[in-house]
Every structure is written in structure tokens, then in C-alpha cells.
Amino acid sequence: MDKLKKSLFWILPSLLALVWAIPLFWMIVTAFTNPTYRMTLFPSTGFTLDNLRYVWEAVPFDAYYKNTIFIVVVTFCVQFVLSTLAAYALAVLDFKGQLLVYVIIFLQIIIPNDVLIIPNYMTISDLGLVDTKLGIMIPFFGSALAIFLLRQTFKSIPKSLTEAAILDGASIWTIIWKIYMPNAKSAYLSFAVISISYHWNNYLWPLIVTNSVENRPLTVGLAIFAKSKEANMQWANVTAATFLIILPLLVAFFIFQRQFIESLTHSGVKE
């Protein structure tokens, strides 16, 4: 019975992993084969790099990459600072209405981002930020999920460390930098995975708020390319463009997969 349980423990996850890997395998194989109008998991034509060259020349992917990297990095950096300060205030400091503020922030996790598209767009329009990178980023500068994760982690750190640091003359910034942040590495890494992957793949909001190549991210560029005449309705070209977009995330995952899994396990986040 024990052997059967161990076998099932390995067989079932392996089968699930195989099912999830089939679309990725099909995309990669198709991206490196000669263009065709048919979809096949095992193409008979030879491998080629022409699809990647064609897509890179037909679409301004260099501009899309710069826009996406800028949006992802700046958004995460702002979230990092604001969420750290908010989590410290909610976990360590005592002030009136603290519980109410925490409940309001927690409720924001339940509300889907798509529900807020109309009010967010009206606000961005009033600020004159339509078709700007700041207009894409600003609705995500405050992250309720990051505040929640960091608050829970900060609450587990003994307050005696803070009191001892204050007696030694440490400022609040020093306490946050040298005590709380080093003890919350798993929470920071967990949120980094979630934030970077979400904003790298975010499509609907950038599609609505951008109109020019100078501000479009990769996902919007891919959608426009897939519908354009340059794609020629050939799956090889579309999958080649998709491969160029997901390649950085794939490489990052394979390099840091152990850290990703450990951070998500330690923080209790299930994605």
C-alpha cells in the first residue's frame, strides 16, 4: 500500500505536468518550423529561425520590450516601497482606525481588477495620462496583496527587536531596513514573482489605455500582430512572436525555480 501511495504521489503530478506542458511544447516546436496554416504537434518540416527573424523585423519588438521592462520594474519598485511602509504601519504602529484601514485594504484583494477598469480609466483621463506609461502603472502602485503578505510577516517578528533597536538609537528607517526587511525575504520574493509575471502578461488595461507604439507593452503588440497582415494567418509566425514574449519569464523560472517554489510555500500563497 505504501508503494502504491508513493507511486501515485509521483505519477499523478507527472501526468498533470505533462498536460500543462503540451501547449508550451506545441508553441515552441511550431515557432521553429516552416510557416504553415495547419496546427500539428509534430510537424514534418525542418527547424528554422526564419520565423523569429521575420517577426522581429515585422513588429517593433525592441520598443515593446523596453516599454514592458520599464513598466514592470518601475511598478514593482513603487509597490516595494509603498507596501513596506504600509505593512510596517499596520503591523507595528498603533493608531486609531488601524483595523478599519486593514479591512479596507484586505477587501481590495477580493475585488477583481477588471471591475475597476471604468473608474480607473475615467481617473486616468481626467489626469491627462491616457496613452502614457504612467497611466498604465499608476492604478497598480498600491498593492493590497503585497501589504497583506508583508503585514503577516512583520507581525511574526518579535516587537522586542524593535524596542531594543529604539533603545540603541535606531530610526524607523533603520529598523525597517535592518530588521523587518531581511526577515521578510520570502514574502518579498513571493510578491515579486506574482507582480512581475502579472504585469508582464497584463493585456486588457494596457490595451484600453494605450494608442501608440511608444507606450504599448508586449502583450498588446502581440495581439495587434496576430490580427495584422504580417502574421499571414500562419501559426508559425504567431507562435514565434509568443515565444519571444514569454522567453524571459521561462528563463527566469528555470534559473530560480527552487527559490520561487520555496518562497510561495513559506508565504502560504497558492497560485
Question: Residue 236: inside a domain, yes or no?
Answer: yes
Q: Supply 165's cell numbers.
A: 533597536
Structure confidence at residue 233 (pLDDT): 58
Indicate the number of domains in the chain.
1
Q: Supply 75's cell numbers.
A: 511598478
Give the residue-averaged pLDDT of 148-169. Answer: 86
52 closest CA partner among 34, 36, 38, 64? 34
Give the residue-averaged pLDDT of 60-64. Answer: 88
Helix (H) or strand (E) holding 143: none
Question: Residue 32: inside a domain, yes or no?
Answer: no
Question: Residue 13: inside a domain, yes or no?
Answer: no
Give the residue-averaged pLDDT of 24-32. Answer: 83
Distance from C-alpha of 54 to C-alpha of 271, rounded to nearest angstrom: 35
Question: Residue 175: inside a domain, yes or no?
Answer: yes
Q: How many CB atoms lie within 10 A of CB 205?
A: 23
Angle at the Cα of 129 from the Cα atoms of 125 and 134, rounded to 5 degrees: 135
- 8 Å CB contact between 146 and 83: yes
158 closest CA partner among 183, 189, 178? 183
Structure confidence at residue 39 (pLDDT): 59
Q: Which residue has the cell 528555470?
A: 254
Distance from C-alpha of 141 to C-alpha of 82, rounded to nearest angstrom: 8
- What type of residue sits at position 119? P
224 closest CA partner among 211, 236, 243, 235? 211
Residue 262 pLDDT greater than 80, yes or no: no
Question: Residue 138: inside a domain, yes or no?
Answer: yes
Within the chain, where are the H helices?
A: 2-31, 50-58, 61-91, 98-110, 117-126, 133-137, 144-155, 159-167, 172-175, 185-201, 204-209, 218-226, 235-267
Question: Residue 5: inside a domain, yes or no?
Answer: no
**Least confident among 1-5, 50-54, 58-62, 73-77:** 1-5
Q: What is the pLDDT of residues 236-253, one digit of tens each?
A: 888 888 888 888 888 888
Structure confidence at residue 68 (pLDDT): 94
- 8 Å CB contact between 253 and 241: no
SS3 47: strand
Q: What is the pLDDT of residues 175-203, one digit of tens each?
A: 888 889 988 888 888 888 889 989 999 99
pLDDT confidence tier of residue 85, bands split at 50, 70 and 90 = very high
96: domain CATH number is: 1.10.3720.10
Question: Residue 28: inside a domain, yes or no?
Answer: no
Residue 266 pLDDT greater than 60, yes or no: no
Structure confidence at residue 252 (pLDDT): 83
Structure confidence at residue 124 (pLDDT): 94
Q: Which residue has the higher pLDDT, 237 or 230?
A: 237
pLDDT confidence tier of residue 270, bands split at 50, 70 and 90 = very low
Structure confidence at residue 141 (pLDDT): 92
Structural domain that includes position 79: 49-267
Q: How many CB atoms lie within 10 A of CB 92?
A: 17
The most confident of 108-117, 121-130, 155-164, by mean pLDDT: 121-130
- 8 Å CB contact between 87 and 150: yes
Question: Residue 27: inside a domain, yes or no?
Answer: no
* Predicted model pTM: 0.84
Q: Which residues neighbour 172 within 8 Å (Cβ) at sequence distance 6 or greater?
A: 88
